[in-house]
Amino acid sequence: MTLAMLLLLPAIGSAQCPNVKIVEGEHGDTIVTCANPQITLHADAFITTQHFNGNYLVESIPYDPPEPFTAGIHLPLSIDDVWDSQGGLDIDFPFQFFGVTQTHVFMAANGLVSFNSSITAGQASGYAWDTYYPINPSPSNPSGFPWPNSILGVASDMDPAYIPASESNRRGVFKYSGGEVPCRHITVSWNEVPVFGHSSEQATYNCTHQVVLYEGTNVIEVHVKKHRSYGTASGGTKSAIGIINADGTSAFMAPGRNPFQTPINEDAPEAWRFTPQGTTVKAISWYRLTADGDSIELGANANSPAARQAEGYYSSSDHMSAVVYPTEPADYMVTVRYNGATGYFYYLTDVIHVNVDTSTSYTLTSPQSSGRGRAAACHGSRGQFNVSIPASSAYDTIVWNVTRMANGRTSTVSADHYSVGNSNATLWVEPMDAIHEGVADTFHIYSNVFFSNGCSRSDSVLYIVHPVYDIHYHEGICQNQSFEMWGEHFTLENDYMRHFRSAAGCDSVETLHLRVSETNIYIESISSCHEYTWRNGVTYYESNTGTAITDTVIERNRYGCDSVIQLNFTLLPIEARIEANPPSATIDRLNIQLSDVSVGADRREWLFPNGTVNMSQTAYYSFNTDEDSATIGLHVSNNIGCEDDTTITLHLLKENIWIPNAFTPKEETNNRFFVSCVGIVYLQMYIYDRRGELVGHFEGVDGSWDGYDTHGELCKTGSYTYVCRYADIINPNAILVKRGTITLIR
């Protein structure tokens, strides 16, 4: 990194520790008048970086060391060119140097403060540094300074061994840790330490300077009261003021002090500040402090009259400025919350007092006042509010406004509900009906006074109208019992009334409606189409005609009185059933009669495939010849709400011809070969023997073959082939052929 020197000129000193200050009015009383009803408060916050960007701001500041040069512990540094034999000093607060958190510092006789952990107590510190000056580090050419990670303040060849024993308590090197959060600090001071080689000129050839490390800001300061380098009054070895990082690749040096040989005299002391640079994140809020110790944060509700006294608003996006307009003297506080670079949380505050010109002030009061800015009454009463203006103040008009609050919403009250008198200085609010029974109504009473000098003032009262209660209790007892309420015992059925005052002091009424319950016997009639489990835990599978007298339970009514309940159970089973006649349709009989033969049903619905519904006891279904089957549904129900469903699938038998496979001529039965058929309009049968000769023939559905051939002889036992040609009524013009064999058995 290239050496960076950031010099702010002219030299302006700023706070070393985290702080915030309200600059408006320089902390004096700021007065709000009617001509200037608001002021803008500004805050100036000093917070250094949380995210170090590698740079330091180097400033020349006024010489003002925070501690005496002899503050703290006197170090036993009486040897030339060594580090403190006590091992330095622990840092009691978070501190970062070049973005790295440090916990310990070492100090040397030759004006060095270092965070280098390799240093050991009493180790030699070196002295001939002229060859390293000027310190001008870069990544390719580190400074080569023998003690990096150090503060040079002022680095010079000094020798405490020259201090006379008689002055050893007040001269030498001192280390100190003190201060309060968030402004703790560490100082390392060299007080009248002689330069090397000038034991005979100690009165003038000695050095007094101080290095300071500050909490919260990680600021480093060097205050130089006087300094002389080794050599003659006009010159000698070199000295330097600055800071160097841990690897010697970055350094920030005081301008004109890298290096220098000219003296710094006591009549012209100097001081330098090194402030780390980077980004900072902070949260800033403003509050109005109330007389009862509360703090109300300023918000955005600046246009609401009721909020004017309590609130202001932020006039800049970073909340560094806020606009306030109090109607009475008030204190305002600004707070800054942020985490320092080491994660330590800081909370900073400042307070300013704002006065209010009361020459045009007035008071808004009410005989029903219940505290500051509040009034209370009961429903049905009339509210009164009075404006009192000092005799020395002249006003033109008083304007009133009344709003009602309900469910978080504000509505304007009509002028029909209030009236004014006494030169508008008195307002009466008439009784109004409650929006919600038993709930208090809330009103804001606003008064606006316009004074003759052009000023105007406003004030408001929160008016709460408490409910008047009319409470009813409905209770019951059993015979021979009593009910206790209001410290009394009641045994008779009646309505009892008591007057009382609510917590808000409103006259209210309570009414007790007392009922007396006798022991009763109830019959519970249950009808069900299936088994039923009653409240006694018993399941009944049939009507309880024989056990009804003993089927009882005892239960308590809502008043806690015994009641006898008896069960009268009737079982009304229901089952859906269908009869079909005939069971199947045939090609010549396509209609089927359907009969509802259900058990326990009072009504029915036939559900047909085409979506139609029939509610008759008997229904009919007619097949189309292209159907094979149809499913018919039946839904039945009875008068007690029971239901049941069933279905039947009907079939259309389309096999219209049947031919047997054997017969026995000359027997008493099965002695002829014939065709059993349905819906046949044409039929011819031909029978052939194994040689293919025609042995038999008949025509028509009533025809048959007796087993004799065309010559009148009975055919032999064996298998014969037949060919049947036929047509049915569905398609009488289409000739169908059926072939097979028939066995003749003799």
Percent over 90 (pLDDT), the chain: 46
- If you count them, how many residues does the chain have? 746
- C-alpha 432/C-alpha 425 separation (Å) is 22
Give the pLDDT confidence score for residue 691 in this predicted structure. Answer: 92
Cis peptide preceding 137, ω within 30 of 0: no
Predicted pLDDT at 744: 94
CA dist., res. 48 & res. 51, Å (int): 9
Closest CA to 209 of 236, 233, 184, 188: 188
Mean pLDDT value of segment 145-167: 90
Q: Quick one: how far is CA 745 from the chain centroid?
A: 99
Sign of the CA dihedral with 589 first, then 592, 593, and 597 last = positive
Which amino acid is located at 633 in the chain?
G
d(CA 462, CA 712): 133
**Confidence label for 587 from pLDDT (cuts 50, 70 and 90):** confident
- Confidence class of residue 131 from pLDDT cuts 50, 70 and 90? confident
Q: Which helix (H) or strand (E) holds 3?
A: none
Query: For position 348, what pLDDT does the model report?
Result: 87
Closest listed residue to residue 150, CA positions, set 192, 211, 94, 210:
211
Give 741's pLDDT tier (boundaries 50, 70, 90). very high
Bridge partners of 648, per DSSP, are 632
Question: Hey, is 99 helix, strand or coil?
Answer: coil
Confidence of residue 203 (pLDDT cuts 50, 70, 90): low
Alpha carbon 399 to its chain centroid, in Å, reads 44
- The pLDDT, as a whole number, for residue 106 is 95
Confidence of residue 234 (pLDDT cuts 50, 70, 90): very low
Task: Provide the β-strand partners of residue 180.
Answer: none
pLDDT of 556 higher than 90: no
pLDDT at 306: 46
**Other CB atoms closer than 10 Å to residue 260's CB: what's the count?**
19
| Alpha-carbon distances, residue 43 vs 26, 174, 205, 322, 336 (angstroms) | 11, 37, 46, 9, 10
Q: pLDDT tens across 301-312, in order? A: 544 444 544 568
300 vs 661, residue with greater confidence: 661
Position 7 confidence tier, pLDDT thresholds 50, 70, 90 = very low
pLDDT in tens, 409-429: 888 998 888 899 888 899 999
pLDDT value for 127: 84
Domains contained in the chain, CATH given? 17-47+281-357 (2.60.40.10), 54-279 (no CATH), 363-466 (2.60.40.10), 470-517 (no CATH), 521-568 (no CATH), 578-653 (2.60.40.10), 657-744 (2.60.40.2550)
Say if residue 269's pLDDT is above 90: yes
Helices (H), 553-622: none
**For residues 573 and 529, is the Cβ–Cβ distance under 8 A?**
yes
Average the pLDDT over 368-391 and give the result. Answer: 89
pLDDT in tens, 318-331: 888 888 888 778 88
Contact 77, 84 (CB under 8 A): yes
What's the pLDDT score for residue 192?
A: 93
- Measured in degrees and rounded to the nearest 5, phi and psi for residue 195 equal -80, 155
As beta bridge partners, residue 220 has 213, 274
- pLDDT tens readout for residues 682-695: 999 999 999 999 99
Please check whether residue 243 is in contact with residue 220, taking contact to mean a CB–CB distance below 8 angstroms. Answer: yes
343 residue type, one letter: G
Which 8-state DSSP code applies to residue 486?
T
Least reliable range by pLDDT among 76-85, 231-240, 561-570: 231-240
pTM (global) more than 0.85: no
Residue 102 has pLDDT above 80, yes or no: yes
In this structure, the strands spanning 470-478 and 507-517 are: parallel
Cis check for the bond before 182: say yes or no (omega within 30 of 0).
yes
∠ CA 273-279-280 to the nearest 5 degrees? 90
- Percentage of the chain beyond pLDDT 70 is 93
More confident residue, 159 or 436: 159
Say what the pLDDT of residue 11 is. Answer: 30
Tokens of 207: 């050095």
Query: How much is the CA Rg of the chain, to the nearest whole Å?
Result: 58
C-alpha closest to that of 311 among 328, 288, 334: 288
Q: 692 with 720: CB under 8 angstroms? A: no
Q: How do strand 603-607 and strand 395-406 relate by DSSP bridges?
A: unpaired
Mean pLDDT of the chain: 86
Bond prior to 113 in cis (omega within 30° of 0) = no
Lowest mean pLDDT among 201-210, 278-287, 299-308, 390-399: 299-308
pLDDT greater than 60 at residue 2 = no
- Residue 229 confidence class, pLDDT cut points 50, 70, 90: confident
